[in-house]
Amino acid sequence: MPKFDADYVPSSAMTIFAHPDDAEFLVSGTIAGWTRAGCEVTFVVITSGNVGTHEEKFTREALTRARKAEQEAAARVLGVKNVVFLEYDDCELVPTLDLRRRLVREIRKYRPEVVICGDPQAWFFEDYYINHPDHRAAAVSAIEAVFPCAEMELLWPEEGAAHEVRAVYVCATHSPNTWIDITGTIDTKIESLRAYGSQVGGWDPSEKIRERAARETKRANLEQVEAESGIPDPHSPPVYLEAFRVMKLKE
């Protein structure tokens, strides 16, 4: 059985997030590394992001079209094979049974070895960001779809054959246990974010993304992480990390 460590690459993975650009901001360095190594990745995007702007030029319909096109372009940059749009409304997402069932359907269809999602327990980040309610709703729904629902043969058999996900990689978490080195893919991460003109138009994400990834390096317990994951000494050239709480469901 595979080891779930910083060097592990699954054969298949699925991200489940609320909005177009969530995966790119949070985990696309890891995704880019995995797709380069042959992992087949599916993005599940729950909402259309159809109110995610302060620009008066957009209608909900126009923003939906723009963000869908941006998501597809970003997926191509990252080597992501499949993008699934569930088309729920932005800022109105709740973890309903209907949503959980929709996610079970996608998990059973694509049968990922690993699912990546957010942390439903994360409400606040430092003293300047309140986590979006859609992020929390998407995280709750993703985790409940993975376990126990997707693997229960007698539950919703019409949604496909039961499937056991091997691990959940929880990102944007206050309690990580795994750091993945994205130094070799951070430029690809930044390029994928540049696809989102409706979100980053006129703003270069490069500096912010590098600062965020560098903060993960500082946040990690480097002595422990070096021993377990081979991360270089912090005094060597810059190292950029993405952090996860890895939940190992199957050995």
Residue 96 located in a structural domain: yes
* 217, 136, 43, 77: CA torsion to nearest 10: -40
> How many domains would you assign to the chain?
1
Cα–Cα distances (Å) from 60 to 20, 22, 45, 67, 90, in that order, read: 14, 19, 17, 10, 10
Tokens representing 161?
A: 């054959």
Looking up residue 60, the CATH number of its domain turns out to be 3.40.50.10320
* Main-chain phi, psi angles of 147, to 5 degrees: -140, 125
Please, which pLDDT band fits residue 119 given cuts at 50, 70 and 90?
very high
Indicate the angle between helix axes 22-36 and 60-78, nearest 10 degrees: 20
Q: Is the pLDDT of residue 3 over 70?
A: no
Taking only the tens place, the pLDDT of each residue in 40-62 is: 999 999 999 999 888 888 999 99
Task: Tell me which of 134-143, 146-155, 196-205 is least confident.
Answer: 196-205
- On whether residue 37 sits in a domain, the answer given is yes
> Is 16 a domain residue?
yes
Q: Would 3 be classed as within a structural domain?
A: no
In a domain, 7, yes or no: no
Q: Domain limits at 175?
A: 12-248
User: Coil, strand, or helix at residue 241?
Assistant: strand
238 within domain boundaries = yes
User: Given this model, what pLDDT does residue 88 score?
Assistant: 98
State residue 230's pLDDT score.
Answer: 53
d(CA 167, CA 137): 20
Report, as an integer, the average pLDDT of 76-101: 98
Give dist(CA 49, CA 85) in Å, integer: 11
pLDDT at 233: 60
Report the alpha-carbon distance of residue 70 to residue 194 in Å, rounded: 9
Distances (CA, A) of 28 to 17, 143, 154, 160, 217: 12, 20, 35, 28, 17
How much is the pLDDT for 2?
42
For residue 102, being part of any structural domain is answered with yes
CA distance 18 to 125: 18
Q: Mention every residue, 6+ apart, whose C-beta is less than 8 A from residue 160.
A: 104, 105, 108, 109
Mean pLDDT score, 163-169:
98
Position 118 pLDDT exceeds 90: yes
CA–CA gap between residue 73 and residue 61 (Å, rounded): 19
pLDDT of residue 208: 85
Confidence of residue 235 (pLDDT cuts 50, 70, 90): low
User: Across all residues in the chain, what is the average pLDDT?
Assistant: 91
How much of the chain exceeds pLDDT 90, in percent?
A: 76
106 domain-assigned: yes
Confidence of residue 6 (pLDDT cuts 50, 70, 90): confident
Please write down the HEC assignment for all residues of 75-139: HHHHCCCEEEEEEECCCCCCCCHHHHHHHHHHHHHHCCCEEEECCCCCCEECCCEECCHHHHHHH
pTM of the model as a whole: 0.91
Residue 215 predicted with pLDDT over 90: no
Say which range, 110-124, 184-198, 213-227, has the weakest mean pLDDT: 213-227
